[in-house]
Amino acid sequence: MMPIAPLMIEHRLIEKMIALIRKEIDRCESAGNINPEFIDTAVDFIRIYADKCHHGKEEDILFRDLDKKELPDELKGIMSELIEEHQTGRKVVADLAEAKRKYVHGDKDSLTLILNSLRYLIDFYPKHIEKEDKHFFLPCMNHFTSEEKEAMLKEEWEFDKNLIHQIYMDKISAWTTNSH
C-alpha cells in the first residue's frame, strides 16, 4: 500500500465540502444572507480536516521525507508551491472566520468578505487537489523504497490516531490560558 492512498482519499471528502460551499454561495446569492452555522462548519472542516489532518500529514511526514531525497527541480518547485498554498489557505480561512464574526455582530458589509473567501476556496481547492493528485504524489512515490512507503503509511495512521487528542488538548490549553 502506498502512503499517498489515504491522502488521495482525503481529497475526495474535501471535494464534497467544496461542493457544499458552492451550494451555500448559490443559496446566499439568492437569499441575500449567509448561514453562520454553515460557515462555522466549513471553517471547522477546513481547519481541522483539510489543514491539521490532511496538510499536516503532507507537511510533517511526506514533505519532511521528500526533503531527504534528491528530487528533480520540478518536484521541488511543486512542493514549495504546495506549502505556500497551504499557508494562503490558512489565511483565507482565518479571514472567513473573522468576517463571519463581524457579520453575526451586525456588520452586513462582511457578507461580501465572506462570499469572496468562499469563492476563493471553491476555486483554490480543486486546483490544489489536481496538482497534488496528478502532478506531485505519484511521481514522488518513485523516490521511496517499499520499506520507506510502509513506514510513512504507519506514521500517517499514528498521526490520525493522535490528532483528535492533540486538538482537544490544545482547546483545553487555550481555555485555561485565556481564563487567567
Residue 136 inside a domain? The answer is yes
| 100, 110 Cβ separation under 8 angstroms | yes
Put residue 32 in one of left, alpha, beta given phi > 0 → left and psi -120 to 50 → alpha. left
For the stretch 122-172, pLDDT in tens is 999 999 999 999 999 989 999 999 999 999 999 998 888 888 778 778 878
Residue 95 is assigned to a structural domain of this protein: yes
- CATH for 163: 1.20.120.520
pLDDT at 179: 63
Number of domains in the chain: 1
* Residue 148 within a domain: yes
**pLDDT reported for residue 180:** 54
Residue of 132, 134, 144 lying closest to 70 (CA atoms): 144
Residue span of the structural domain in which 71 resides: 4-174
94-113 burial by CB neighbour count: b if 16+ within 10 A, else e? eebbebbeebeeeeeebbeb
Q: How confident is the model at residue 173 (pLDDT cuts 50, 70, 90)?
A: confident
Residues 42-99: tens digit of each pLDDT: 999 999 999 999 999 999 999 999 999 999 999 999 999 999 999 999 999 999 999 9
Residue 1 — pLDDT band, cuts 50, 70, 90? Answer: very low
What pLDDT, on the 0 to 100 scale, is given for residue 4? 59
| CA atoms lying within 13 Å on the CB side of residue 140 | 29
Flag whether 180 is in a domain.
no
- Cell match 496538510: residue? 55
In a domain, 179, yes or no: no
Section 25-49 average pLDDT? 95
Check residue 2 and give its pLDDT: 52
158 belongs to a structural domain: yes
Q: Give the model's pLDDT for residue 123.
A: 98
Say what the pTM is: 0.88
DSSP string, 14-65: HHHHHHHHHHHHHHHHHHSS--HHHHHHHHHIIIIIIIIIIIHHIIIIIHHH
Gap between the Cα atoms of 137 and 78, Å rounded: 10
